[in-house]
Amino acid sequence: MQQSPQTYTMLDLAQLQSEFQSYLIGHKNSTTFTTRIINDAKVGVNRRLAIYFDAYRLRIIEALATAYPKLKALLGDDLFNRIAREYIDDFPSTYQNMRWVGGNMREHLLYSIPEHPIAAEMAVFEWSLSLAFDAEDVAELRLQDLAEIPLEHWNALQLKFQPAIQIVRLRWNIIPIWKALDADEAPPALLQDSIYTSWLIWRRDFSSQFRSMGEMEAIALHMAMTGATFEEVCESLEGQEAETTAEEAMTIAAQYMAGWLQCGMIVSFTLLN
Partner 1 sequence: MNTPKVSSAKTNPQLSNLGFGLGLRTQHYNSILETKPNIDWLEVISENYMVPGGKPLHFLDRIRAEYPVVMHGVSLSIGSTTAFDKDYLRDLRKLVDRVEPAWISDHLCWTGVHGQNMHDLLPLPYTEETAKHVAERVGIVQDYLGRRILLENVSSYASYVDSTMTEWEFISLICEKADCLLLLDVNNIYVSSYNHQFDAKAFIDGVPTNRVQQIHLAGHHNHGDYIIDTHDAPVIDPVWDLYRHALSRFGSVSTMIERDDQIPELDELVQELQIARDITADYLSVSGKNELPKSDATVSSNLHHA
Do residues 71 and 93 touch, judged by C-beta distance below 8 A? Answer: no
Please report, as ranges, the residues that interact with partner 1 according to CB under 8 A: 1-2, 5, 8-10, 12-14, 16-18, 20-21, 24-25, 35-38, 42-43, 45, 47-49, 51-52, 55-56, 59-60, 63, 92-99, 101, 133-138, 163-164, 203, 206-207
64 or 122: whose CB is closer to partner 1?
64
Residue 267 vs residues 60, 93, 158, 232, 270: alpha-carbon distances, Å: 36, 34, 11, 20, 11
Do residues 62 and 107 touch, judged by C-beta distance below 8 A? Answer: no
User: Taking the complex as a whole, how short is the minimal distance between the CB of residue 167 and partner 1, in angstroms?
Assistant: 18
216 or 267: whose CB is closer to partner 1?
267
Taking Cα atoms as reference points, which of 237, 232, 231 lies closest to residue 217? 237
137 or 247: whose CB is closer to partner 1?
137
User: Taking the complex as a whole, how short is the minimal distance between the CB of residue 68 and partner 1, in angstroms?
Assistant: 17
Phi and psi torsions of 203, nearest 5°: -125, 135
User: Taking the complex as a whole, how short is the minimal distance between the CB of residue 45 and partner 1, in angstroms?
Assistant: 7
Phi and psi torsions of 45, nearest 5°: -65, -35
Taking Cα atoms as reference points, which of 180, 167, 174, 186 lies closest to residue 224? 167
User: Taking the complex as a whole, how short is the minimal distance between the CB of residue 135 and partner 1, in angstroms?
Assistant: 5
User: Taking the complex as a whole, how short is the minimal distance between the CB of residue 131 and partner 1, in angstroms?
Assistant: 9
CB neighbour list of residue 48: distance below 8 Å, 6 or more residues apart: 37
The CA distance from 239 to 249, in Å, is 9
What one-letter code names the amino acid at 161? F
**Helix (H) or strand (E) run with residue 3 in it:** none
207 or 255: whose CB is closer to partner 1?
207
155 or 209: whose CB is closer to partner 1?
209
53 or 196: whose CB is closer to partner 1?
53
96 or 194: whose CB is closer to partner 1?
96
User: Taking the complex as a whole, how short is the minimal distance between the CB of residue 94 and partner 1, in angstroms?
Assistant: 5
SS3 257: helix
> What length does the chain have?
273
User: Taking the complex as a whole, how short is the minimal distance between the CB of residue 204 and partner 1, in angstroms?
Assistant: 11
